[in-house]
Structure formats: C-alpha cells, structure tokens
Amino acid sequence: MMFSSDSTVVQLDTSGEVVVVAHASEPSRCYLRGAVLSEVVIDGRAEDLPKPQLTADADEVELTYQIADRLQVVVRHTFAAGWGMRLAFSGVGDAPVTVDAVTLALRPAAGHLGWALAAGAEASYSVQPCSGAGLLLGGVLQVGAVDRVTSAGLHLGRMELAGSARYVVQWHWDWYATPLEFGRTRHPTVPDTLCATVGEVLEMGRDDDAALVVSDELEITETAAHVELTSVRAGSYLVEQRSARGTTRVQLQWVPPVEEIICDRAEDALLQPRTSAGLIKLARLPDAMIVQHALVQALVTDIDDATDALDLYTARLTAGEPVVAGLADSQPLAAAYLCGEYNRIGEEDLLDRAVAVVLAADSAAPGLGLAATQVCLALMVAGREVQPVLRHLNWLTERGRAAGSSISQQIAELELIAVTWSAVTGSASAGRRH
C-alpha cells in the first residue's frame, strides 16, 4: 500500500509495517522503516503480538491489535496534512490494565542516521543521510510521552489504564532543509546540554503552567523566561516539569572541573611499581599522556616523580620497547605523546619521530587528527615546513572517500579535514615565514 501527502511518500506492507518513507521528490530514497508495534509488556509479561486488523481508505490506514483479551491498540497513519501517526491504547472490559512497556519499532534505512530526544512529554526523532547532504526527516511528539529511544525504536513506558480508559500517543512528521531548521525553538523546556561543570548554570525554558520538581541539592534561580539550575557538588539529578500536557523529565549531571579529573587520573597513573632505581614505570600510553598533561599544567603533587616517570617512558618508547599492547593501533597517540615531550623538553629528535609516525599512516585512524594538529603546531613553532604533513593528510582523506569508508572512518577523516583547513586559512604558511 502506497500513500502520499504533499511531500511524503509512505509505503506499508500487508502486515501494516512501514517499509518506505521517502520525500516525494525522490521516492526511491528510503529514510525510515518500521513504525509498527514490536513489544507490549502487560503485568510483567511480554505478550505475543497478533496480526493486526487492517483497514484503509484514500488518506488513512488503521491497524487494530487485540492483545491478550485485555488491551486494544489502534495505530493510525494519516496523510491528509503531512504524515501523522497516532497510537491509542484502551483497556478491554472493566478491569484495570497495567502496561509496563511498549516499543514502537523505528529504524533508519541503510545509509541514514537517526537522532532522538526522549524527555517524557518532550520528544523528537530525526533521520538524515550519513553524508549530511539532503533533506532531514523529523518527527515531533504532539501528545503522550516517550521514556527513551534506542536502536529498537520508541519506548513509551508504563501506562495505568483504569477500566476502559484510553491513552493516546501522537506524532507528526515533516521534512526540513537542515538540522538547525528542525531544532530551532523546539523543546524550550529541555536544556541545550544535559551536563555541566560543578558551579556552572544549566538553563531551561520556564513554563508558568508547570510545576518544577527538583532535588533539594540544586540551586534554583528564576528569570522571566528561564529557570537556572546549579549544583555545587558533582552528581546526577532528575528534574521534572509537570503540567496538564504531561511531565517533561531530564537527567541533569554536574561533573568535577576538568583540572580536578586530570589531577586524579594522573595520581592514579603514577601508582605503579618502581624500578630498582626508584623510578615509576608507567603502564600504558594513555597513562603517560595524562601524566604529561598534568605535569605541564602543574596539576601533580610530586613534580620530580612525574618528570622521571615520563623520561623513563619516553626512553622505552623511542627504544622500541613494546610498552603498549598492540602499539600499531596506538601510533597516532604515540605521535601526540612525542610532540608533547618535544614541547616539554625541547629535544628535536622527538619531533622528528612524531612527524615520521604521521607520515607513515596509511589510513585516517581515530586520533590521527589530534596527533597531526600537535605535529603541525610544533613544526610551526620550530620554524619548520608543515606542507608535507598537510599533503599527506589530504591524500588520506581523498583515499578514504574513494574507498567508500565506514562511518567510523568518516569521523576520523573529519579530524583530518579540520587540521588541513588551516592550510586554506593561512596557518600552514606561517611555518615558512619563521
């Protein structure tokens, strides 16, 4: 069955599952599949889902499920004004029904990525091509609540249906030119970020028709348009805004300052056995990098111990000792570490080794962008040429595109693009002027 609105084409199979969602201008490019019930749990028991009764007319299709003689679920897709999706849950008979969980399957089509927000009464779901080019399909919750979203789909959470009571969840889907257009002014009562450093403010839109429920440990400041929340202690806190429309729930987190975390991690890394000469023998490359950063920032308690530990680790690394299991996979990080040591102690041989590691890379591995940035900055400070490194990074990026790289590979390539962009802005030529 094929249905269409002004801009959306939706195809369903005979079981009622959505098998194609596409834009009318490009009907062969599928964005989304599923939009069908995949799990219903009643009183702690996962129920077998029967084949739905299906009815359809020109601009609407309806699927009716009768589950365990206790629950009726009607899923209705409408196409008169865009694509709407409505789920109505009704108890059968006079006995109350507890629906512990409901999952509505939603799956981005191959070559597409999904993004979701699930904050109770505030929820949305978007799908966009992995390339970032093309339109974005966005769905927004109009009625009801969504507890969470996973790769399996939308999880609607617990429902208490007294007798023949009914609970409705409704979504509306449309097309947007960019993620910014889809997200602009949407979900004002959900903070832009859910995590902050201790003492920093998280801001959420104020709703005068909602009751704000927060932990006593949070400090609250109200303005005309916003509610500002602050914590002086690290932790995770549930914040709710309860209104007639429903309850918006967000889990906000405050974390220690990054300097405190680095200091703690560095002190942990230095709790290693000592050599016969009394030097700390760092166990892993990440430990050495965190100690290096902490030492430069003066965040370690014993500077001499940290200095000696890094000197020993660098000697082991440059001597070819297998100080890291699977060192081949850690080569980009090794280059970043060697650059850090060059900046710390000024031995140019360390910079030469770091450059050699970057130039030897045959793919855009994660971490290579970080290492290349460190290398280019060190070369410019030393008054040396950076163009060989930039040319190699450009070559790796183009090689990855030609090979049709995976998503993780594409992410690594973005690091390289960020580094090589400096050649366009003129930073690369700075090395030649020294």
Tokens of 223: 């303005």
Note whether residue 284 is domain-resident.
Answer: yes
pLDDT at position 433 = 32
Note whether residue 151 is domain-resident.
Answer: yes
At 216 the three-state DSSP class reads coil
| CATH number of 230's domain | 2.60.40.10
42 and 84: one domain? yes
200 and 262: one domain? no
Residue-wise burial string across 343-382, b where 16 or more C-beta atoms lie within 10 A, e elsewhere:
bbeeeeebbebbbebbeebeebbebbbbbbbbbbbbbbee
Note whether residue 61 is domain-resident.
Answer: yes
291 and 412: one domain? yes
DSSP annotation of 327: G
| CATH number of 98's domain | 2.70.98.50
pLDDT at position 401 = 64
How many Å is the Cα radius of gyration of the chain?
Answer: 28
Residue type, 7: S
139 and 280: one domain? no
Is residue 112 within 8 Å of residue 132, measured between CB atoms? no
How many Å separate Cα 82 from the centre of its chain? 29
Domain boundary (215, 238, 255) is at 255
Q: Which residue range forms the structural domain that includes residue 379?
A: 258-433
138 and 25: one domain? yes
pLDDT at position 321 = 64
Note whether residue 190 is domain-resident.
Answer: no
232 and 279: one domain? no
237 and 263: one domain? no
pTM as predicted? 0.71
18 and 70: one domain? yes
pLDDT at position 351 = 93
pLDDT at position 163 = 76
Beta bridge partners of 249: 240
218 and 316: one domain? no
pLDDT at position 390 = 86
Note whether residue 188 is domain-resident.
Answer: no
269 and 390: one domain? yes
pLDDT at position 208 = 87
Note whether residue 305 is domain-resident.
Answer: yes
How many Å separate Cα 50 from the centre of its chain? 35
Domain count, the chain: 3
Across the chain, which distance is largest between two alpha carbons, in Å?
85
Note whether residue 40 is domain-resident.
Answer: yes
Tokens of 375: 């290398």
165 and 303: one domain? no
DSSP annotation of 120: B
383 and 268: one domain? yes
Note whether residue 12 is domain-resident.
Answer: yes
Domain boundary (234, 255, 276) is at 255
Per-residue pLDDT for the chain (434 aa), expressed as one digit of tens each? 888 887 999 999 988 889 999 999 999 999 999 888 899 999 889 999 898 999 988 889 999 999 988 899 999 999 988 899 999 999 888 888 999 999 999 999 999 999 999 999 999 999 999 988 899 999 999 999 999 999 889 999 899 998 778 999 999 999 999 999 998 878 988 998 999 999 999 999 988 889 999 999 999 999 988 999 999 999 999 999 999 888 999 999 999 999 999 999 999 999 999 999 999 999 888 999 999 999 999 999 999 999 999 999 999 888 876 554 444 445 788 899 999 999 999 999 999 999 998 898 888 777 888 888 889 889 988 889 888 888 888 888 777 666 555 545 554 445 544 544 444 444 433 333 33
Sheet with 83-91: strands ordered across: 53-57, 60-67, 71-78, 83-91, 166-176, 136-143, 122-129, 112-119
Domain boundary (139, 162, 183) is at 183
